Structure 1
């Protein structure tokens, strides 16, 4: 058996716990190290989750010669700097969504990875579920005909806190980057890059988008109708409507374990439960790519990741949402 792919973590936050569960459900991977700007936080996290090495700086973590891949799970504005730090150290990177704050940052990170010849992937975990692979096959084989419309939503009502990552402009807050990226990525997976982007948003007292309705149009004539927010709870459903049938994923659709395919009078039900947290599938894909010498995943290519961030840039421009690091940068 080949040696395991050894992961280092930048950013020991809540989502990282799901990542660790995913790694430990993957036969050829292990979490070797965690890094934080707070040495005590790194040590406490490593002790709690039985991680062998703890570093009191991101620089020390990426300098560890035994780390093969780095998982970036910091607040949004730190995604690009941390990814670049790891890339320049010669490490492969899996970076949490949103990949970066804007498309300019995204392209900078992608260019750096290509220049260094290292692996890079956005950690859009939903994309890698077995059920999503089955869905793509159903669409590609024409089982539901040509896609006419996609509807999907991801919204929840959070308590307002102007300083929290959900509402602070300094932390690139708002629903779009936090959860709106999910339905946008879902539409991108099936329809590609839109040629028309429109939408309306409700901006809160901090100036970030708290609720939004988005319409994306595609050269094929298809539409995507998407809703998102951090101050409104939505149904959490996804539906793909084609000329010959439809696919429905129940709540929470971004953790896809069940779907229903309808064509004519026939209905087919699919059920593929996740093995652990669900992060195991993106971890497995990253490890697979690294072992094969790939620098990006064919399931979520880097050009598509940049295009998804660019779509969000266009929406924020329509809404007048601009973050301080963009104004001052």
Structure 2
């Protein structure tokens, strides 16, 4: 029987608590430590999960001898200061996106990750929809890829489940381009090729993060467009659309995939595991044990995404 990986979690906001719940039931992991700077959060979770050691001391996880791997769910500007010492101490790292905000931080993280088990939690990295379109391109069913369009709309920002994370609504580290577009930038990078910014623009109606984003990028010579709005009436919407000469694909709401070969969009019936934090934890465990799962985004992919995302902020 394989010995469970001793996992420490740093950051117990919405994502940290979600992954904690997944990891507690995951056969590859034993959650031994979890850290947050908010004493009330730590106290409440300690009561719920007495077998886990909760604290407000980051040193209980980062570089700790009794922690094999770290999941990091803290604001992106803090990532390098936590990831680098963890990797240098021999711990594996599963980091929330975006990888970093600054190029210097990202470079330090990439250097520390050389030859180490390190991944970035892009939610589309192991989705069945991602693999389906990837295979359709490889098989030639799509034909030539003509372009990609990404459309995002939010009634409010930050979204309700992120309301406690004030940094998500601030310009320095937050905004929907970093928090949401980064997932679709990863998807495009993986399926079509690395992105370079041609023209990017953000609008701000308040001192907070962006209220609109417009961008033209290219993957090679393939145009990739982003349009995003905050304050739009109606439900949140997330659409990624790839247009080909033979087939086109549309991904909506993160997991609903449609295909068009003529004048009609038809749903694609996906089978098997759709992809989740639980399945990405399995991939991370494989990386910790020396494998190289292709559906776990690595730091190099994280840096390519960071680079095009930050082009909107300069």
| TM class by smaller structure | 0.7 to 0.9
Q: Which residue of 2 aligns with 1:228?
A: 228
Question: What's the CA shift string for 1:188-221, capped at 9, x where partnerless?
Answer: 12122224431222123216322102221232x3
Q: Does 1:303 align with 2:300?
A: yes
* Equivalence for 2:191: 190
Query: What are the superposed Cα offsets for residues 246-278 of structure 1, whole Å, 9 maximum, x if unpaired?
Result: 11223x12xx2x322333589562234767x92
Aligned with residue 248 of structure 1, among 247, 250, 254:
250
**Partner of residue 259, structure 1:** 257
Report the counterpart of residue 62 of structure 1 in structure 2: 62
Distance verdict in 2 for CA 1:263–1:21, change over 3 Å: farther
Q: Report the Cα distance in structure 2 between the residues aligned to 1:189 and 1:50, rounded to whole angstroms.
A: 41
**Structure-1 residue corresponding to 2:205:** 204
- Taking a change above 3 Å as real, the CA distance of residues 238 and 195 of structure 1, as seen in their structure-2 partners, is closer
Secondary structure of the equivalent of 1:128? coil
Mapping 1:69-88, distance limit 5 Å = 69-88=69-88
Residue pair 2:8, 2:67 contacting (<8 A) in 1 also? yes
What secondary structure sits across from 2:276 in the alignment?
Answer: coil
Shift of 1:101: 1.1
Quote how far apart the aligned CAs of 1:245 are.
0.7
Q: How far apart, in 2, do the equivalents of 1:126 and 1:315 lie?
A: 21
Distance 1:264 1:299 in 2: 34
Structure 2 vs 1, CA of residues 185 and 111 (structure 1 numbering), >3 Å: closer, same or farther? same
Contact 1:32–1:52 (CA under 8 A) maintained in structure 2? yes
Q: Alpha carbons of 1:159 and 1:99: their partners in 2 closer, same or farther (altered >3 Å)?
A: closer
CA contact (8 A) 1:245 1:261 kept: yes
**Aligned pair in 2 of structure 1 residues 178, 286: CA closer, same or farther (>3 Å)?**
same
Cα deviation for residue 50 of structure 1 reads: 5.1
SS in 2 for 1:166: helix
1:143 aligns with 2:144: no
> Contact (CA 8 Å) 1:121, 1:297: kept in 2 or not?
no
CA distance in 1, matches of 2:149, 2:49: 38
- Indicate yes or no: 2:295 matched with 1:315: no
Per-residue CA deviations over 1:65-88 (Å, capped at 9, x if unaligned) read: 332210110122212222123223
Distance apart, 1:310 and its partner CA = 0.9
State the partner residue of 1:238.
Answer: 240
Change (3 A) 1:46 1:138: farther
Cα distance in 2 for residues equivalent to 1:298 and 1:60: 30
Match in the other structure for 1:270: 269
Query: What is the SS of the residue equivalent to 1:241?
Result: strand
Contact 1:84 1:109 in 2 (8 A): yes
Other-structure match for 2:128: 130
Question: In structure 2, do the counterparts of structure 1 residues 32 and 99 end up closer, same or farther at CA, with 3 Å as the change threshold?
Answer: same
TM-score by length of 1: 0.82
Root mean square deviation of aligned Cα:
2.8
Give SS of 2:168's match.
Answer: coil
Q: Where do 5+ consecutive residues of structure 2 fail to align?
A: none
CA–CA separation in structure 1 for the residues paired with 2:133 and 2:37: 41
Is it true that 1:175 corresponds to 2:176 in the alignment? yes
SS of 2:100's partner is coil
2:151 to 150, 153, 176: 153
* Count, aligned residues: 306
Q: Map of 1:275-290 to 2, 5 A cutoff? A: 278-290=276-288
* TM-score, reference length from structure 2: 0.86
Residue 22 of structure 1, CA deviation: 3.1
